[in-house]
Amino acid sequence: MKKIGQVRILEATLALIVVTLSIVFVNSYYKSIIGSEANQDLSDIAYEILYSLNERELLAPYIYNENSKMLEATIASALSNRYAFKLTVYKIEEEEFKETLESIIRSTI
């Protein structure tokens, strides 16, 4: 009788290990397929749009003149209708720069 109980505990432990490993594998596989490619594509698109605006010398005037509505409209015109975006422009004083930058980085992670 005692051996049957030990076998059941061993079976339950092995089943738990198999289920846990399956969940971990599926979760990491799913994230690697969907997440990284989509994020990289969006990063490339965002970089290209901002680089293009900078090359046409539109980016600096919009930012320094605090004309975020025109900047938003310009980005929207360059971006496909399939995407939505949120634009935030920060005005940072010299001494606040490091603290604000750290806060922005923490909020995007």
Of the pLDDT bands very low, low, confident and very high (cuts 50, 70, 90), residue 87 is confident
CA–CA distance, 1 with 99 (Å, rounded to integer): 66
Smallest CA-to-CA distance from 88 within 107, 38, 42 is with 107
Mean pLDDT of all residues in 47-73: 85
Give this prediction's pTM.
0.47
Share of the chain above pLDDT 70, in %: 77
pLDDT above 90 (res 23):
no
Range of the domain at 94: 2-108
Mean pLDDT of all residues in 53-78: 84
Q: How many domains does the chain have?
A: 1
